[in-house]
Amino acid sequence: MSVTADIRASYRGPGRVVARLLGQGRREGFALNILLFACIMMFIAQAPYQAREAHFDPDVPLMARMYWSAFLWIFLVPLLLYGFAAFMYGLALLAGRNITGYGVRLSLFWALLASSPMFLLLGLIAAFIGPGAGLQLVGILWLANILWFWIAGMRAAESVEL
């Protein structure tokens, strides 16, 4: 299936999508591509907000803001997420869960990519409406969406043999 069809299917059953992705075998390059695509989507979602901030505070030009945003989302966040996935794998082992490190990584990375439409909405609200209750509500919904996808993916990863 295409990525957009998988994202749409994740809103109906995130565990089934992760189980199908894990059933394709262990492919570290595929997991890395999912993570990088998710981070690129997060960078794109932040672009309107960065333009808004550059308009209201011209001391820092838009190109500088976009440069640092790209550095954060495309270089630093993937490294941090790999570290977080390793930490969560260690916790899963201590808890006696039967899951592989690849299952933890893929379920986390897929949760980020599958929740990217909600993050795009969050970026638009931050850009056009600004800080407020609407931005906080969508931010909470985005985090709940990630947790739902990740927990369902972790459960599916436990049942799939790699």
Model pTM? 0.91
Across 156-160, average pLDDT: 86
- Give the C-alpha separation, 8 to 98, whole Å: 28
Per-residue model confidence (pLDDT) at position 2: 84
CA torsion 36-37-41-43 (nearest 10°) is 30
Is pLDDT above 90 for 3?
no
The rounded Cα 136 to chain-centroid distance in angstroms is 18
Q: How many residues does the chain have?
A: 162
**How would residue 161 be classed by pLDDT, with cut points 50, 70 and 90?**
low
Is pLDDT above 80 for 1?
no
Across 71-100, average pLDDT: 94
- Give the C-alpha separation, 95 to 82, whole Å: 20
Terminal C-alpha separation, the chain = 21
Across 86-94, average pLDDT: 94
Quick one: what percent of the chain has pLDDT higher than 70? 98
- Give the C-alpha separation, 107 to 14, whole Å: 9
Per-residue model confidence (pLDDT) at position 159: 84
> Which amino acid, 100?
T
Per-residue model confidence (pLDDT) at position 65: 93
For 120, counting Cβ atoms within 10 Å of its Cβ (0-12 exposed, 13-18 middle, 19+ buried), the class is middle
Across 112-117, average pLDDT: 95
CA torsion 149-155-158-161 (nearest 10°) is -60
Distances (CA, A) of 66 to 33, 80, 135: 22, 20, 21
Per-residue model confidence (pLDDT) at position 162: 58
Per-residue model confidence (pLDDT) at position 112: 96
Across 127-149, average pLDDT: 94
